[in-house]
């Protein structure tokens, strides 16, 4: 892997990390167990490895964002997750923040693409 490819991969993973947290919270407004949560996220174009998903679920639960319970389904015990009431509040706050950041980034990209200039008179960030 070249230096540029390695750098891109590291930056891509950093970008995805925060986005995946928001996506998991969004999906868990409805109850899922791990495997079906992975499938639901993948159906929306967000593939996530088990080695990433399960530690994220445990961390979010430890932070009080998720509630979970073990239940038997299809003759197997499965842990079902959903947003807690605190998780619902945090999701709303994070979603608002993400939308504001996204709008700012979109505006920055559009302005620079159209040749708009900054206060210094050039088009650099």
The CATH number given to whatever domain includes residue 73 is: 1.10.10.10
In a domain, 93, yes or no: yes
pLDDT tens-digit readout, 50-109: 999 999 999 999 999 999 999 998 899 999 999 999 999 999 999 999 999 999 999 999
- Number of domains composing the chain: 1
- Reported confidence tier of residue 18, pLDDT bands at 50, 70, 90: confident
53-65 pLDDT, tens digit each: 999 999 999 999 9
Would you say residue 121 lies in a domain? no
| Cα–Cα distance, 24 to 81 (Å, whole number) | 10
- Within a domain: 75: yes
DSSP for 71-119, please give it: EEETTEEEEEEEE-HHHHHHHHHHHHHHHHHHHHHHHHHHHHHTT---T
Q: Does 118 fall in a domain?
A: no
What is this structure's pTM? Answer: 0.82
Decide if 82 contacts 24 (C-beta within 8 A).
no
Residue at 124 is within a domain: no
Residue 85's domain comprises 3-113
């Amino acid at each position: 892997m070249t230096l540029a490819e390695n750098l891109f991969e590291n930056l891509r993973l950093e970008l995805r990390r925060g986005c995946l947290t928001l996506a998991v919270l969004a999906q868990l407004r409805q109850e899922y167990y791990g495997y079906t949560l992975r499938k639901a996220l993948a159906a929306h174009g967000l593939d996530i490895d088990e080695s990433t998903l399960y530690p994220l679920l445990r961390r979010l639960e430890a932070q009080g964002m998720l509630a979970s319970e073990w239940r038997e389904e299809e003759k197997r015990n499965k842990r079902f997750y959903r947003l807690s009431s605190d998780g619902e509040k945090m999701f709303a706050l994070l979603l608002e923040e993400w939308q504001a950041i996204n709008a700012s980034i979109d505006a920055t990209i559009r302005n620079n693409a159209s040749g708009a200039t900054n206060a210094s008179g050039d088009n650099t960030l």
